[in-house]
Homo-oligomer: A and B are copies of this chain.
Amino acid sequence: MWFNYFGAMITLTEENYIKAIYQLGKYGTVNASTNSIADALETKASSVTDMIKKLADKGYVNYKPYQGVKLTQKGKKIAADVVRKHRLWEVFLVEKLNFSWDEVHDIAEQLEHIKSEKLINELDKLLDYPTHDPHGDPIPDKSGDIKKTDKTLLFNLDENAKGICVGVKDTSSAFLKYLDKYNIALGSKITVLSKEAFDDSMVIQIGETTINISQVVANNLFIKEQ
Contacts and interface: CB of A to CB of B under 8 A. Distances in A.
Interface string A105-116: 011001100111
Interface in A92-106: 93, 96-99, 103, 106
A82 to B, nearest CB: 14
A110 B89 CA distance: 15
A119 B93 contact: yes
A41 interface: no
A110 B114 contact: yes
A92 to B, nearest CB: 10
Nearest to A103: B118
Contact of A97 (B93, B115, B126): B126
Which residue of A97, A115, A118 has the most chain B CB atoms within 10 A of its CB atom? A97
Interface string A132-175: 00000000000000000000000000000000000000000000
A122 interface: yes
A123 B96 CA distance: 9
A114 B116 contact: no
A122 B115 CA distance: 22
A126 B99 CA distance: 12
Number of copies: 2
A173 B44 CA distance: 44
Contacts of A98: 122
A119 B118 CA distance: 21
B114 A97 contact: no
A111 B92 CA distance: 15
Contacts of A96: 126
Contacts of A107: 114, 116, 119
Nearest to A122: B97
Contact of A99 (B93, B115, B118): B118
A114 B114 CA distance: 9
Given A98-B122, A103-B118, A110-B116, 17 more contacts: A93-B119, A96-B126, A97-B118, A97-B119, A97-B122, A97-B123, A97-B126, A99-B118, A99-B122, A106-B116, A107-B114, A107-B116, A107-B119, A110-B114, A110-B115, A111-B114, A114-B114
